[in-house]
């Protein structure tokens, strides 16, 4: 699969898991996440993100190949650090694999990966993904300890969990934003590409998009929810506009 990445511009990866969640509620084929991937491509999204969970509650195994066949957009496969998921990633060879923590009972990915505590479990999996030419990303909290662990593991990318920022208000929100900006700068200084995601909406995306060093945002639940009202294409276009307006390479570098 060709991966067309535009340097400088803030990339938008659209997580289409929840299109599959709606499909799975009735057990049939509709709505098809592949159609969502095609719409994301037409609407100016830069990548497709999908999380193949152990319990297959949204994306299923056969969706991966169908998504890869349907669009040239790079696929970012979110996966737990297990032998089963490693084998699937090596078979499908997505552009990127983002290693996330996974608990069966959680509603969503609640926190970052403990890259520091799980070093021995992660090292062989990261190594095999990298050897296969898959760009590895670790979904971590914006903390020095976790970033250092990502460096030790030689992951080229870290995705910072923005859940704490998304749920915070007032001074706490400003503090979370600063933490994300500082950690993005530290990651970039050490040669890692910083990404961010989780809980981002039209209302809270711009301060994150204004952080110059962040290269990619991965956004899912809010866009699929908005799509119910305005359609997926319009929702992705609106998110793109907001991100571009705030990002220093394409807009003012400020939230509006």
Angle at the Cα of 140 from the Cα atoms of 102 and 81, rounded to 5 degrees: 40
Q: Which of 18, 51, 58, 95 is catalytic?
A: 51
The footprint of ligand PXP on this chain (CB under 6 A) covers a number of residues equal to 18
Residue from 218, 226, 240, 242 touching ligand PXP (CB under 6 A): that is 218
Residue from 15, 68, 71, 206 touching ligand PXP (CB under 6 A): that is 15
CA quadruple 62, 231, 1, 201: dihedral sign? negative
For ligand PXP, the closer of residues 47 and 251 by Cβ is: 47
* Binding segment toward ligand PXP, per CB under 6 A, in 34-42, 117-125, 215-223, 248-256: 215-223
| Residue 216 interacting with ligand PXP (CB under 6 A) | no
Q: Site map for ligand PXP, 89-108, x if CB under 6 A? A: ---------x-x-------x
- 51 annotated active-site: yes
44 alpha carbon, distance to own chain's centre = 16
| Residue 46 interacting with ligand PXP (CB under 6 A) | no
For ligand PXP, the closer of residues 116 and 141 by Cβ is: 141
- Residue 160, classed as helix, strand or coil, is strand
For ligand PXP, the closer of residues 75 and 98 by Cβ is: 98
* Per-residue buried b or exposed e for 7-44, using 16+ beta carbons within 10 Å of the residue's own CB: eeebbbbbbbbbbbbebeeeeeeebbbbebbbbbbebe
Site for ligand PXP in 145-164 (CB under 6 A): 159
Distance CA 251, CA 114 (A): 35
The radius of gyration computed from the CA coordinates of the chain, to the nearest angstrom, equals 17
Q: Site map for ligand PXP, 179-208, x if CB under 6 A? A: ------------------xxxx--------
| Residue 165 interacting with ligand PXP (CB under 6 A) | no
Cis peptide before 87 (omega within 30 of 0): no
Phi, psi (deg, nearest 5) at residue 136: -95, 135
- Residue 68, classed as helix, strand or coil, is helix
| Residue 109 interacting with ligand PXP (CB under 6 A) | yes
Question: E strands of 16-123, at which residues?
Answer: 47-51, 75-79, 96-99
* Residue 92 C-beta: closest distance to ligand PXP, Å: 17
Residue from 102, 220, 232, 236 touching ligand PXP (CB under 6 A): that is 220
Residue from 32, 46, 63, 78 touching ligand PXP (CB under 6 A): that is 78
Quickly tell me which residue has 């969640």 as its tokens. 21
Distance CA 67, CA 139 (A): 22
Applying CB under 6 A, the residues found at the interface with ligand PXP are 15, 51, 78, 98, 100, 108-109, 139, 159, 197-200, 218-222
Positions annotated as catalytic residues are 51, 78, 198
């Amino acid at each position: 699969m060709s991966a067309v990445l535009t340097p400088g511009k803030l990339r938008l990866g659209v997580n289409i898991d929840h299109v599959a969640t709606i499909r799975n509620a009735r057990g049939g084929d509709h709505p098809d996440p592949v159609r969502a991937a095609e719409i994301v491509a037409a609407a100016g999204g830069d990548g497709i993100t999908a999380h193949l969970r152990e319990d297959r509650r949204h994306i299923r195994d056969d969706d991966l190949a169908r998504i890869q066949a349907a669009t040239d957009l790079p696929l970012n496969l979110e996966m737990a650090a297990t032998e089963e998921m490693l084998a699937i990633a090596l078979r499908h060879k997505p552009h990127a694999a983002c290693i996330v923590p996974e608990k069966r009972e959680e509603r969503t990915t609640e926190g970052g990966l403990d890259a520091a505590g799980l070093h021995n479990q992660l090292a062989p999996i990261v190594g095999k993904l990298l050897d296969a030419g898959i760009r590895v990303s670790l979904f971590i909290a914006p903390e020095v300890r976790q970033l250092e662990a990502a460096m030790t593991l030689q992951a080229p990318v870290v995705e910072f969990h923005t859940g704490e920022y998304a749920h915070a208000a007032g001074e706490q929100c400003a503090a979370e934003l600063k933490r994300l900006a500082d950690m993005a700068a530290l990651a970039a200084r050490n040669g890692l590409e910083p990404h961010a995601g989780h809980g981002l909406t039209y209302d809270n995306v711009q301060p994150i998009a204004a952080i110059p060093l962040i290269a990619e945002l991965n956004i899912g639940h809010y866009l699929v929810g908005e799509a119910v009202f305005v359609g997926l294409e319009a929702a992705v276009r609106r998110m793109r506009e907001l991100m571009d307006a705030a990002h220093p390479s394409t807009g003012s570098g400020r939230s509006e």
